[in-house]
Every structure is written in structure tokens, then in C-alpha cells.
Structure 1
Amino acid sequence: MRRMLAAAVRETVAFAPDVVVHHPLILSAPMAADALGVPRVLAEFSPVATASEGFPAAGGPTATYDLGRWNRSTYAVPRAAARVFAADVVRAAAQLPRGRRPASRTPSRATLMAVSPQLLPRPHDWSPRVHLTGSWHDDGLADAVDPAVADFVHDGGHLVASFGSMAVGGAEARARAVVGAARAHGLRVLLLTGWGGLALPDDLRGSDVLAVRAAPFPAVLPGAAVVIHHGGAGTSHAVARAGVPAVVVPVTADQPFWGTQLHRRGIAAAPIPVRRLTTAALVTAVADALTRGGRAAEVGRAMRREDGLAAALDVLGLL
């Protein structure tokens, strides 16, 4: 965090931008924009900084519970967490043109919420300055798929499993649960091992299992029967946009929030916390997810009509 906060200031000053678009975690971005005298825009991929009574803050301890009018108070948790890095922000200010942060802070001109309204309908209490753009995606990645992967998914009806960067313990146990559940339902399984979230044991290898470090979602999700994933914002949107039902196994951060949202929207089974993941639990959850294919396809069609990047650029063009 310390290196990132300093680098954000250094690179922003060196680039001299017309506008600063930043994630809420880039705590040093506001002072960089103020020091350069340019507007800034907040970009969120999960609701963390933009409070609402409609749902709790993603990533907080109550992210899976609807607390009604108390939902807004949960956004104090990420704000409090940000204060842990206050000294690092002050240290990063040394790289500003005058070597110190401006005396006043200018509010952001707008917020780009890179979230699909199909997964999170716009709440009534967001300001007009908050733009629910739809997800940001790049379908061109589908052209960069390995031939072996393309052959494996060519006929569809497969299960895809990905835990992205969630390289916490138990990678082989997770893969064992995934393969066991897939075989129980007669599904071939593509394991995307990522940064170590999944590791295929030798005794599970077979023609019905392919394990690769990574593959572009636009190439392997269409035609899949179900996806098992950790529930990150990007993965959740990619799977939903492909029109494929899911089983979410959240690990941390905003993942429990998205697991709950996907289930509420009818396109995923009830989430299974990673500490409760077993083959038996996955067998039941996959059976549930397979019944949700129609609803998932409906949501996917609606999401594919969205152009979140164009909507975001339209907002920036009006600054």
C-alpha cells in the first residue's frame, strides 16, 4: 500500500492528466488531482465508498445482510480502514509539486459505478452524480485462447472453476471438491488454477479434466453448464454476462457480497463460504445452479446489451 500510494502520486504528476479517474483504494489520488488543478472521478467496481440504504457496503462484516435503514452506517467500516494509511498518504505527498498536500480537498465530479443494474439495481438514494454504467469488458480477449483449451470447450456442457488470485491454503482440496462435484453430474471440468487457488492432484487426472493456469473468460464461458468461482466483482460480471449459472465460494473482501447478490438475482446457488467447501456441498450446489440456466441466460442477454465503457466515456466527456 505504501509503495502504491507513492507511485500513484509520482506517475500522476509525471503524466499531467486532464482528469484523474481512480479507485477508492488509491487514497493519494485526490490530493494529486487537487495539486494539479484537474477534476477527479471515482471508479468503483463494488459499492464501498458510495453509501446507500439499499444494501450494505461490499467487503464489510455485514456485506451479506440487508440491514434496512442501517445499511448506510456500514460504509463507515471501509472509511475507518482507510484511516490506517493516513501516515502513508502524508508521506506520498512529498512527491507533489510543492512537496505537501493542498490545504483543501475538492470533491469528485462524478462516480463511475462499473456494475450492471442486472446484478445490482440502482438504489433510490444515490446522487445523480453516481453513474451506474454497466460492467466494463473486452470481448477481444476471446481470440487469445490456447488451441487445447478451445478444443476442450468446443462442444459446451462443461464446468469451469476459477479462484483467480485467491491463493490461500487448500488448493488441492478445492480442486478435489470441484472435480468430484463435476463428475457426480457427468460434467467435464476446466480448472483455471490462477495464482494457486486450485491445484489438480495426480490421482484426479483424466480426459474429462483440463487444468491450465489461465484462459480468457470470453472464450471458455459461452456454452458452459455452470461456473464455480470466488465471487470477485470482475469474475461475477463476466460469468453473469456469459449467461451461465454459478456457484460462488467466497474467500474475502467483496466476494460474500457478490455471492449473495447473484443468488438473490436467481442466477447462482446459495454461496458456500470457502471454509465450508466440501464435495458433498458442491454436489448439492451444482445441482441447484443447473436449474437456474434459464434465468442466467435471460440476465446474460440483458447484460450483453449494456456498454459500460461507452457510458463511462460519455460521463468523462461531459466534465
Structure 2
Amino acid sequence: MPVCVVAIDTRGGIQPYAALALGLQQAGHRVHVVAPEDFTDWLTGLGLDAVPLPGRMDDAARAAAEAGFSRGVVPRGMREQLLRQSLRHARALLDYADGADALLGGIGGAVLGVDVAERLGIPFVHAHLQPVGAVSAAVAGVLTPWIPAWTGAAGNLIGSAITESALALPFRAASRAVRAEVLGLPPRRSRPRSSRLPVYGFSRHVVAVPATWDVTGYWFLPEDPAWTPPAELVAFLGSGEAPVCIGFGSMASADPAATARTVTEAIRRAGVRAVLLTGWSGMSDIAASDDVLVIDQVPHSWLFPRCAAVVHHGGAGTTAAALRAGVPAVVVPHGVDQPFWAKRVAELGVGPRPLPRSRLSATSLAAALRTTLADDGMRARAAHLAELLSAEDGITTAVDHLSRGLTQTK
């Protein structure tokens, strides 16, 4: 069955969909992945049929950081840019998806994918990395971690309702324009035809959701047998105690030099060795030294288990990789769903209280590192959770579920 996977996200958010696409492909489905153009070569290298959407996600991330886009509210200066990009993406996606029996994607993919699927008369399969897609008394709102747990079911209802609205509202104007100018569709009055899915790529050991939800476990890429670690990284890891790994992935900073100074000073104050992953965050101004190795990026599945702790931004994909590694995590959430995952890490006892980006300082980060590294119970809980996650096969479970569901929609 031909399936088009729409993956519009940062690297950490696209990687699980690449893993799922490979699983579907190995199960005999004809799959092609549509993603921003800066990921096309990487996806093709994995063995996937990948086609580029116009524009680069790293450029979009930097523009969003400069405009202050972090919590789902599109700044006024970005609205015209979002509209133009949506029209370009919709035209490309309509062409790429022609001939598919279904479109599949998460929050980013659904922004335009739902409308394109309606135009093509095929289902859009919601495949989420977060517990979204329903207003529920049983699940806390992904975008409202500030609602206290003691509010119970009422708080969950309010939080999930706010989350569903916040995920849709910023893109409503773009959707209207796409439907009118590209797809020739009237304003949406009801949900388009879909399957009995969705499916969720996280673990019930991490987020408790109703038994009726199809939660499969995380979607991890297989290890690349051809990849070898840089010699300088191997030498650094072997030259002393296990370091901490610090990286904020795709979270571009408006002042990366200041972030670099903060992180460097925190490392010195905490008295730890560290591997710094610069990624898109721009922390390239950190000078390497005997106790600090600066490197662009390394597969998390290889590096994280070799570290004493991980400091990260709390994206869904990075959080999953850190949990699977079995080491504690200090989460510095920047926005969107990251505060939710940061809160879950703390509630599970595998990391300290979240350290929001607005409160990040050399003092606060050093204190969080000292607390984390001294907590034997936290380290034991992280290792136990990793064992539970390793027993799950999220890809196989998701592929079996999707194969049955897609067959029933034909």
C-alpha cells in the first residue's frame, strides 16, 4: 500500500517518523517521506524515498527564535511568512502525495496534511509523539504543565482543551488560504475522512493514557553499522570520568554566545567534564579544553549511555533517547511541548526539577548538575526505566497496528 509520511519538524521530531517509515517499508508498504529540504539527503541515506518541501527547517528555527516564537503563538512578524510557506508546502505536498492511499504524520504534518488528504479523498493518519488529539479528563494538557496535578480530571479537561485549541489556532488562517487558493476546498466545517487510528509513539511507562489509546512504545531508528565515532570523542571519553552531555538540539538561541558562556561557567562550577553538542543552538563559541569537548552532533543512542547525565531541551525525540540511555537528565525546556516532557522526567524521578530556559544561569545549571550527579536513587530509577523501555518494540507494534488499520480503510 502506498503511504506518504509528512514529517515537518526539527531533526529530533523527524527522526521517529523516519524510523516508522523504515518499518512500514520493511513490512512491504510503498513509502515516501516528505520533509523540509535540509533533511532530504539524510533521509535518502537511510534508504528511504524522500522528497523535499521548499525551505530549510534550520532557517525557520533561527527565525522563530529571533521573533520570539516558543509557545504556539505566532508573532505578528512571522504571520505573513508562515502563510507564504504554507502555500508553497501545500502545492508541493499535493503533488508528492498524489497516488498515495493514505497520508501519515504528527502535529507538524497534520497542519497541511489533513487538508491535502481531504482534497485527495484519502485518510490522514494521526501518528503522534505526544499525548494529543483528544480532550480528555485522563490526560494532562501537553501545553499546560503549569496546571497543578491536584486539579485532577477537571484540570486535565481544561488543559487538554487549551492544548487542542493552541495547536490549531496559529495555523487556522494558513489553512483557510491553502484550502481556497491551492486545494479548491470550502472552509472546513467537519473533520475529513480518516481511519480508526491514531497511533502514539511513546511509552505507557512514561505517560499514562487511557487503555483505548493505541500507544506502541517509542519509534527508534536502528543503529547504523557504518557509523564510527570520531577519534577525538573516543579519546575524550576514555581520558577520565564519564562526562555530562549538554546540547539543546534545534533550539536556536537569539544570543548563542551568551548561552555558550553560561554553559561553560556552569561546567567549571560543577567540576565536571562535558561533551558539548552544538547542533542548531549555535554554541560554537565554546573553546575545547581538557575537560570540555565541543562537537556538532553524535547519535544520541551511542553517546548518551556513555555519559553520567544529559542536559537537553526536552524535545520529544531527545527525551526518548535520554530515557532509553538509562542516565539522569537535566531538562532545560524552551517552549511548546518541552515543559511537559521536562515535568514528566522530574515526576518519574529520573531528573531534577525542570530548569526553564528563562532561568538558565551558570549558578542554576551548576546546582542542577551537582544535585543530579550526587543522587544514586535517581540514577537507579533511570536505569530501571531504560530496562522497561528496551522491552518494548514500538516500531513493530505501530507497523502491525497501522497495517491493519490502513487495510480496513481501503
Structure-1-length-normalised TM-score: 0.87
The superposition leaves residues 39-62 of structure 1 with CA deviations (integer Å, 9 ceiling, x where unpaired) of: 2211111223233323422124x4
Higher helix share: 2
Q: Secondary structure at the match of 1:210?
A: strand
Asked if structure 1 preserves the Cα contact closer than 8 Å seen for 2:270 and 2:367, the reply is no
Partner of 1:135: 218
Asked if structure 2 preserves the Cα contact closer than 8 Å seen for 1:200 and 1:211, the reply is no
Asked if structure 1 preserves the Cα contact closer than 8 Å seen for 2:327 and 2:383, the reply is yes
Partner of 1:158: 243
1:261 maps to a residue whose letter is R
Q: Which of 124, 141, 144 lines up with 1:40 in the alignment?
A: 124
Classify 1:17/1:218 alpha carbon distance in 2 versus 1 (closer, same or farther; 3 Å): same
The superposition leaves residues 193-221 of structure 1 with CA deviations (integer Å, 9 ceiling, x where unpaired) of: 1113534444xx41111111211112211
Q: Which of 275, 278, 302 lines up with 1:190 in the alignment?
A: 275
Classify 1:286/1:5 alpha carbon distance in 2 versus 1 (closer, same or farther; 3 Å): farther
1:141 Cα offset (Å): 4.4
Asked if structure 1 preserves the Cα contact closer than 8 Å seen for 2:203 and 2:217, the reply is yes
Distance in 1, matches of 2:87 and 2:322, equals: 31
Classify 1:8/1:140 alpha carbon distance in 2 versus 1 (closer, same or farther; 3 Å): farther
Q: Which of 182, 194, 197 lines up with 1:110 in the alignment?
A: 197
Classify 1:78/1:40 alpha carbon distance in 2 versus 1 (closer, same or farther; 3 Å): same
Q: Which of 319, 335, 340 lines up with 1:257 in the alignment?
A: 340
2:331 maps to a residue whose letter is V
Map 1:133-282 to 2 at 5 A.
Answer: 133-141=216-224, 143-154=227-238, 157-202=242-287, 205-282=288-365
Partner of 1:318: 404
Distance in 1, matches of 2:91 and 2:135, equals: 26
Asked if structure 2 preserves the Cα contact closer than 8 Å seen for 1:9 and 1:29, the reply is no
Partner of 1:53: 137
Instruction: Tell which deviates more after alignment, 24-33 or 259-268.
Output: 24-33
The superposition leaves residues 54-77 of structure 1 with CA deviations (integer Å, 9 ceiling, x where unpaired) of: 3422124x4563231221222232
1:314 Cα offset (Å): 1.0
Instruction: Tell which deviates more after alignment, 75-84 or 4-13.
Output: 4-13
Asked if structure 2 preserves the Cα contact closer than 8 Å seen for 1:163 and 1:194, the reply is yes
Distance in 2, matches of 1:77 and 1:168, equals: 27
2:364 maps to a residue whose letter is A
Classify 1:107/1:223 alpha carbon distance in 2 versus 1 (closer, same or farther; 3 Å): same
Asked if structure 2 preserves the Cα contact closer than 8 Å seen for 1:116 and 1:134, the reply is yes
1:310 Cα offset (Å): 1.5
1:225 maps to a residue whose letter is A
Asked if structure 2 preserves the Cα contact closer than 8 Å seen for 1:22 and 1:41, the reply is yes
Classify 1:210/1:32 alpha carbon distance in 2 versus 1 (closer, same or farther; 3 Å): same
Question: Sequence identity, in percent?
Answer: 31
Asked if structure 1 preserves the Cα contact closer than 8 Å seen for 2:93 and 2:116, the reply is no
Classify 1:18/1:182 alpha carbon distance in 2 versus 1 (closer, same or farther; 3 Å): same
Structure-2-length-normalised TM-score: 0.69
The superposition leaves residues 214-236 of structure 1 with CA deviations (integer Å, 9 ceiling, x where unpaired) of: 11112211221011111111111
For the pair 1:11 / 2:96, whether they are aligned, the reply is no
For the pair 1:20 / 2:103, whether they are aligned, the reply is yes
1:279 Cα offset (Å): 2.3
Asked if structure 2 preserves the Cα contact closer than 8 Å seen for 1:34 and 1:106, the reply is yes
Distance in 1, matches of 2:196 and 2:90, equals: 19
Asked if structure 1 preserves the Cα contact closer than 8 Å seen for 2:143 and 2:159, the reply is no
For the pair 1:306 / 2:392, whether they are aligned, the reply is yes
Distance in 2, matches of 1:197 and 1:51, equals: 37
Distance in 2, matches of 1:262 and 1:54, equals: 19
- What 5-or-longer segments of structure 2 have no aligned partner? 1-81, 406-410
Q: Secondary structure at the match of 1:228?
A: strand
Q: Which of 71, 79, 83 lines up with 2:169 in the alignment?
A: 83
Distance in 1, matches of 2:236 and 2:221, equals: 22
Distance in 2, matches of 1:148 and 1:139, equals: 24
Classify 1:283/1:19 alpha carbon distance in 2 versus 1 (closer, same or farther; 3 Å): same
Distance in 2, matches of 1:201 and 1:31, equals: 45
Asked if structure 1 preserves the Cα contact closer than 8 Å seen for 2:86 and 2:174, the reply is no
2:246 maps to a residue whose letter is A
1:11 maps to a residue whose letter is L
Partner of 1:293: 379
Distance in 1, matches of 2:309 and 2:243, equals: 7
2:162 maps to a residue whose letter is V
- What 5-or-longer segments of structure 1 have no aligned partner? none
1:12 Cα offset (Å): 4.3
Distance in 1, matches of 2:100 and 2:146, equals: 35
Q: Which of 178, 198, 206 lines up with 1:119 in the alignment?
A: 206
Instruction: Tell which deviates more after alignment, 49-58 or 258-267.
Output: 49-58
Q: Secondary structure at the match of 2:246?
A: strand
* Number of equivalenced pairs: 310
Distance in 2, matches of 1:5 and 1:310, equals: 35
